[in-house]
Chains A and B, each alone.
Chain A
């Protein structure tokens, strides 16, 4: 148990729809990161939030957006879904923004886009 939870576990959407994925971080963890893991690949960094502001982003288009709330929960929103968005989405939390903090992952949300 990492203390990081995600919902839902699985989700099926159709192309063009919008989706919101949720993550609840460990208490006291101010930094949350989101990752996309396609089948057979390593996780790809989407973005990171610290104290409710985005402070790092990978090579993902603006239709991937996020929110972080004061209660250690966060959301990943994806608009205009494409077939290639089908993947396992992982969130990870860590205590602060210091680059050397160990991060802990949730169990993931498996998104299928038809």
Chain B
């Protein structure tokens, strides 16, 4: 089945820094989503991005489907950005999550 790999597994940054999170997938996918999981476990939708580029405030994402990767950019990080970021790929009616990137933003 399809494999989804995220990197880096952990990232520690000072407030105000920029970051890039990567998601690689091993085969073509029908869609790709990015989520932020808050400390209580709620998965918050960030982007639904099977291809192309989208921006929402300080966050943006790019998926290059032909090269099987997606990037999540966070600019001017804030402490509230801390948490775990997941990408999830949909193929053949199964949704596969990566293991996540744990982001720590220090004040």
Q: Which residues of A contact B (CB under 8 A)?
A: 2, 33, 35, 37, 41-45, 48, 55-56, 58, 88, 90, 92, 97, 99-105, 107-108, 110
Contact of B31 among A42, A43, A99 (CB under 8 A): A99
Interface centre among B88, B90, B98 (most CB of A within 10 A): B90
Q: Does B86 touch A at the CB level, under 8 Å? A: yes
Contact with B41, one of A33, A45, A99, A108 (Cβ below 8 angstroms) = A108
Question: With an 8 A cutoff between CB atoms, is B69 at the interface?
Answer: no
- Please judge, given known A-B contacts A2-B45, A107-B41, whether A43 and B30 are in contact too, CB under 8 Å: no
Nearest-Cβ distance from residue B86 to partner chain A, whole angstroms: 6
A97 to B92, CA, bound (A): 11
Q: Which chain B residues lie closer than 8 Å to A37 at the CB level?
A: 41
Q: Report how far A55 CA is from B94 CA in the complex, Å.
A: 10
Cβ of B96: which chain A residues have Cβ within 8 Å of it?
45
Contacts of B100 in A (CB 8 A): 42
> Within residues 25 to 52 of chain B, which ones have a CB less than 8 A from any CB in chain A?
30-31, 33, 35, 40-43, 45, 48, 50
- Whether the pair B41, A42 counts as a contact (CB closer than 8 A) is no
The answer to whether A100 and B90 touch across the interface, beta carbons within 8 angstroms, is: yes
Q: Which of A41, A58, A100 contacts B94 (CB 8 A)?
A: A58
**Beta-carbon contact of A100 and B97 below 8 Å:** no
The answer on a CB contact under 8 Å between B41 and A110 is yes
